[in-house]
Amino acid sequence: MSALDALDERQREAASVLRGPVAVLAGAGTGKTRVITHRIAHGVDTGAYSPSRVMAVTFTAKAAGELRGRLRTLGIEGVAARTFHAAALAQLNFFWPTLAGSPAPSIIDNKVRLLGQAAEQLRLRLDTPTLRDVASEIEWRKVSMRSIDQHAALGRSVGRVSAEQLADLQRAYETLKDDRRQLDFEDVLLACAGMLEAEPRVAASVHEQYRHFTVDEYQDVSPLQNRLLELWLGDRRDLCVVGDASQTIYSFAGADQRYLLEFGRRFPDATVVRLETNYRSQPPILAAANALMNGRPGALELCPAREAPKAEPPTLTAYDTETEEAAGIAASVSARIASGAAPSEIAVLYRAHAQSAAIQQALADAGIASTVLGGRRFFDMPEVRQSILALRGAAVAPTERGFLPNVRRVLREIGLTDEAPAAGGAQRDGWEARRAILRLAEEAPDDTTLRSFSDALMARAKDQHEPTMQMVTLSTLHAAKGLEWSHVVLAGCAEGALPISYATGFDAIDEERRLAYVGITRAARTLELTWSRSAGRGERRPSRFLEEIGTTARGTGTLRETSPRARSAGRRG
């Protein structure tokens, strides 16, 4: 069976071109990860690629782990699927001792702490939030490839820290770092790029090692990342980039969608393939997404893979207060679960972390367990670590009970009970984690042993392949990118929240629009949009994006307005 057999026509077109520059413009839910992995597998199967000569680059360790896992299922081992930073750090650690005669500098784990020490030297009294903002500004400067003097010339300040003070603070920070032989996260990319530019033998070695490059989420590359990519490529042209300009949501961190939008201009002979068949969302959800991005640069027209005549249109519900909105969301989620949806199939998305507390409390009051995305990783939870250790220990001295009974016995011995603890606390989180491990055991093949199961858990931990916990997910729109749920509630669709109050100017508002688009396209079956008319003592208006999506009152039918009372009655009926 060919690696291309499982692809649709456009996907197959993208995966078939193995040489030269290729740009895959992949809309939300169109199978971009499938295309990336099957393209690499096709290259290996046909002999065009040697796995060890392929580098697949993405932006998060989890995404890199998913690439490795999918390649493994296709029988492909040895591909370097890494983040930009992981790839650069590996090269620094390999070449630095030879070039400098000493180990590579260590990486600082807390930029804010070092900035605080630099501020003390300058007798600047700065609180932690301000130091965090300064750290973000330093990160932006570095990925934009600007020197401290060039940054100072822009006149950018941070809160009460003037541009001049900011420059002094950055110089003091860099001096402290140099004195301690340390690098920060962005220095890793800068140092790797500098090494490749200054040392021809290092560049030649890297060019010999890696011949074929794939870059996922290319709309999110910064000038520094793109420069490093160019240095990795050298004079070769075997580069495949995959991205969606409508999902550029990290401009504040230096992401520049122009590299994707202008790829065809930089490589006039590039193969450009558009993936617009969406395999995730129901047609009414896609209609809302398309309406929001209509006419924007690089926007793709998403079309459903199949007809769905009974698909629910997105709904819009207005509440008087944020408290009522949170309670209404909890009631909606509760009704959804009562009608048969699994908690893990439901997500509540919002613009800012501050919105999560009221929603999480309302869900807990309704007896619904939830987890905040971006918090503690599954395999970092003490209950999970304890479970894996206990299972590995039990594998040394197996009993006659059999695999699954032994897993149940081990998990019960360390705290898994039949009844779930009350929602909203650490005990429930730990219980849900152990239940997730038990579900994995229940789904394992018949010949699984305690040893092979615990080994599989360790492999999952390495790839950050987290199992599903039966909890409702709460997430910011940024953290939700790349994920999907059957049922999505997009909360806080009001001016000042989405778009957020500090977003001013066309470019900033357009970034907020793309965030809303990301939120909408996370939904597979149902989408609920909510907003509240007041926040504290202030009055609010509905988000301008709601008007662009359209309501029944405007005759478009893209979005259906309802009241909390009407929706509750409709659910009961």
Query: For 233-252, what is each residue's pLDDT tens digit?
Result: 999 999 999 999 999 999 98
Q: Measure the CA–CA gap between 550 and 360, rounded to whole angstroms.
A: 29
Residue-level pLDDT at 564: 67
Contact (Cβ atoms closer than 8 angstroms) between residue 297 and residue 33: no
Residue-level pLDDT at 227: 96
Residue-level pLDDT at 400: 66
Query: For 518-569, what is each residue's pLDDT tens digit?
Result: 999 999 999 999 999 987 767 889 999 998 887 433 334 466 777 665 444 4
Query: For 20-29, what is each residue's pLDDT tens digit?
Result: 899 999 999 9
Q: Long-range CB contacts (< 8 A, 24+ apart) of 478-482?
A: 478/249, 478/250, 478/515, 479/373, 479/374, 480/347, 480/349, 480/373, 480/518, 480/519, 480/522, 481/247, 481/249, 481/518, 482/63, 482/217
Smallest Cα–Cα separation from 91: which of 202, 223, 233, 182? 202
Residue-level pLDDT at 556: 42
Per the annotation, where are the binding residues?
26-33
Residue-level pLDDT at 571: 41
Highest mean pLDDT among 63-67, 289-293, 555-559: 289-293
By CB atoms closer than 10 A (0-12, 13-18, 19+), residue 507 is exposed
- How does residue 2 score in pLDDT terms, banded at 50, 70 and 90? confident
Residue-level pLDDT at 555: 35
CATH number of 106-180: 1.10.10
Indicate whether 100 pLDDT > 60: yes
Residue-level pLDDT at 399: 66
Per the annotation, where are the binding residues for ATP?
26-33
- How does residue 122 score in pLDDT terms, banded at 50, 70 and 90? very high
Residue-level pLDDT at 134: 93
* SS3 of residue 411 by DSSP: helix
Sequence spans of domains, the chain: 9-88+190-274, 106-180, 284-375+472-572, 378-463
The structure tokens listed for 450 are 């305690």
Buried b (16+ CB within 10 A) or exposed e, 523-538: bbbbbbbbbbbbbeee
pLDDT > 90 fraction of the chain, expressed in percent and rounded: 65
Residue range 344-371: average pLDDT?
91
Buried b (16+ CB within 10 A) or exposed e, 304-317: beeeeeebebbbbb
Query: For 450-493, what is each residue's pLDDT tens digit?
Result: 888 988 898 888 777 788 788 999 999 999 998 999 999 999 99
- How does residue 572 score in pLDDT terms, banded at 50, 70 and 90? very low
- How does residue 160 score in pLDDT terms, banded at 50, 70 and 90? confident
Instruction: Please name the CATH architecture into which domain 284-375+472-572 falls.
Output: 3-Layer(aba) Sandwich (3.40)
Indicate whether 307 pLDDT > 60: yes
Residue range 70-95: average pLDDT?
94
Residue-level pLDDT at 300: 95
Query: For 142-152, what is each residue's pLDDT tens digit?
Result: 999 999 999 99
pLDDT, averaged across the chain: 90
* SS3 of residue 217 by DSSP: coil
Highest mean pLDDT among 205-214, 416-425, 460-469: 205-214
pTM above 0.75, yes or no: yes
Residue range 372-393: average pLDDT?
85
- Do domains 9-88+190-274 and 106-180 share one topology? The answer is no
Higher pLDDT, 462 or 176: 176
Residue range 8-13: average pLDDT?
94
CATH class, range 9-88+190-274: alpha beta
Q: Measure the CA–CA gap between 90 and 57, rounded to whole angstroms.
A: 13
The pairing of strands 303-304 and 277-278 is: parallel
